[in-house]
Structure formats: structure tokens, C-alpha cells
Amino acid sequence: MYEFIKEEIEKVIKNNPPDSVLFSGGVDSSAILYHAVKENPNVMGITVGVQGKETSDIKYSKLVANQLGIKNHHIYYVSPENIKRTVETSVKILRSFNPEWISSTTTLLLGTMYAKKQGLHSISSGEGADDLFGSFPFFTNWQGTQEDLAKTIEQRLKEIRIMSDVIAKSIGMTYIAPFHNKDVKNTILSIPIKDRMKKEGKIKTKYPLRKAYESYLPADCITRPQTMAFTGSGIYDTIQSIGDEVSDEEYKKASKTILPFKNKFEYALFKLYTKNFKFKQQENGQGCIHCGSSMNGNKINCKICATLQVEGKELEFDGL
């Protein structure tokens, strides 16, 4: 029924096969790896994990790699200390202090750096699918009309930066972005939003994508519950502890005098941000509704704190 999605993604990979794929074992990255291994049997699937933990990404990536016959699957276990040391680099690369996006960036950065160390030159991932299919919590929790939701998603797609591309360029790698390819995007966006976000049985998100690959990927992969790059890898749980280094007194003072930080983790990231960049808030409440900085031409997505805001209200990234 949705085979046309698979066909468009296949064209992108066939025209520009990557040396490696950031591989979580979720349907997005598994779909990319499925095509990549056809073009290059030695393509490296890279799964990032936390040393001492067997996370859901490791579990599912092993399962999918086994079924697809991936000969070159590498699980990169990173020590908690190394992960925390990488956080400031993530802040500098993404130029943001958003906890979720910095956690995702750290996961993607570690995987990309690993590929670089292996002598590879290009990398791909499933980034972009969550926006196209409306599977982020601030979309699944949407309270308005479906028409407005579809417009919000399309506007966000125009404004966001592709994390994996920014990361790859920062270390001299090439990123291949199937879900940000114009033809792939237009194909998926042509599907009505109600169908893109359809739920059926064990399938709760990305229905068209999962149906497109249900004959090609393991059933456990197709029905795997939604996870983000930072949760499935275990990275978020590891680095949020940097907020524990902030005293209650300092946190309360900062939340009153700077901006209403959501938690100590966000404040700790903000400190790393201001260590490297100037932070300026707009006067008269003209900036972002959360951090007050300039939206820099964006209409709904703050470039600094990554808050998604529609008609003066924040769409919260929760519910995972």
C-alpha cells in the first residue's frame, strides 16, 4: 500500500550509497540500512550504547542486523565519562542548550566520530522521519485541527537544521539524508496527516513507513515502540546527571533572573552554551517564549533553545 515510500528512499541510497549508517534498530535507520547493504555489502551499521548497559537500541539493532545479514555491525560502547566530555562539543556544534536535542546530538556525534576513526567518509541515518510522520510527542499530543498540525509540521521542516549533517560537516564527513531528500519529503507529505499518524494494533507511530517495510524488516522492528535517539541509546540518562552538579540555590536564582529553566540539566547546558556563545534576550517580549532570544527569522522553532511554539504557546516535548 505504501510501497512508493520505499521506492523513493531506495533511489536516494542507490544514487549515493553511504559508507556507514547510524543504526538504532528502529524502523527509520533499519530502512536506510536495508537499502544501503544492497548497494554495499560492507556498509557499517553503527549502534551507540553506554558502557555497561544493554539498551533497547542494542537489542533491536542486533535483531535487525541478524535478519538483514549485516556483516559489518559495530556496537560502540562509550564510557559515561567520555559521553559527558562530549556534551560541550555537542553544544558548540548545534549552538543550542535544549536537553533533548543536545542528547541526540551527542549520540549522533559519537557514532559519526566512530565512523571517522574507522576511515569512512560518508554516513547516513533515519533523521527526519519523526517530523515527516508527526511522531514526536509535541505532534502526537496536538490539541488543534489536523490542518493546523500539517501546516506546523511543514513549517518546522523549513526551519530546523539537520543535526546529522551539521555534525558530519564539523568533522569532515559527508551526510546522506534520505528523509530530507526533496522527493522523499514531498512523497511523504502528500499523504494526509491523519494517515501519516494512523494507529493500528501495535503500530502507534509512522504507520505508512512501517507498512512500507513490513515485508522486509523484522516484525519486532516494525512494531517497536517509538523511541528517540537519546533515549534508546541511554545517552540522556547518562548526561542529565551533569545537572546534579548545580546547587539548588544557584538553580533557583538563575531561573528567576535569566529564564524559567525546565530543570537543572537545561541550566547546566545553558552554562556551557554561554561559555561559548553570547546570549541576548529580546526586549518587550519579542523573542522566543521560553528563552527570550531572537527567533532569527524562524516562525515557530527557536534556534537557540529549540522550543517549538505556535500562537504564543509552547508545544512541550514530553510523553516519551
Residues 86-137 pLDDT 10s: 999 999 999 999 999 999 999 999 999 999 999 999 999 999 999 999 999 9
In angstroms, the CA 168 to CA 281 distance is: 30
* pLDDT tens digits along 74-86: 999 999 999 999 9
- Inter-residue contact 106 to 86 (CB < 8 Å): yes
* pLDDT tens digits along 165-209: 999 999 999 999 999 999 999 999 999 999 999 999 999 999 999
- CB neighbour class for 72 (10 Å; exposed up to 12, middle 13-18, buried from 19): middle
With a CB cutoff of 8 Å and minimum separation 6, the contacts of 100 are 228, 230, 236, 306, 317
Read off the pTM: 0.94
Say what the pLDDT of residue 43 is. 97
In angstroms, the CA 84 to CA 51 distance is: 13
Domain at 3-238, CATH from 3.40.109.10, 3.40.50.970, 1.10.3720.10, 3.40.50.620: 3.40.50.620
Enumerate the domain spans of the chain: 3-238, 247-315
Say what the pLDDT of residue 260 is. 96
**Once rounded to an integer, what is the mean pLDDT over residues 54-76?**
95
In angstroms, the CA 285 to CA 162 distance is: 28
Say what the pLDDT of residue 320 is. 43
Q: Are strands 308-310 and 313-315 parallel, antiparallel or unpaired?
A: antiparallel
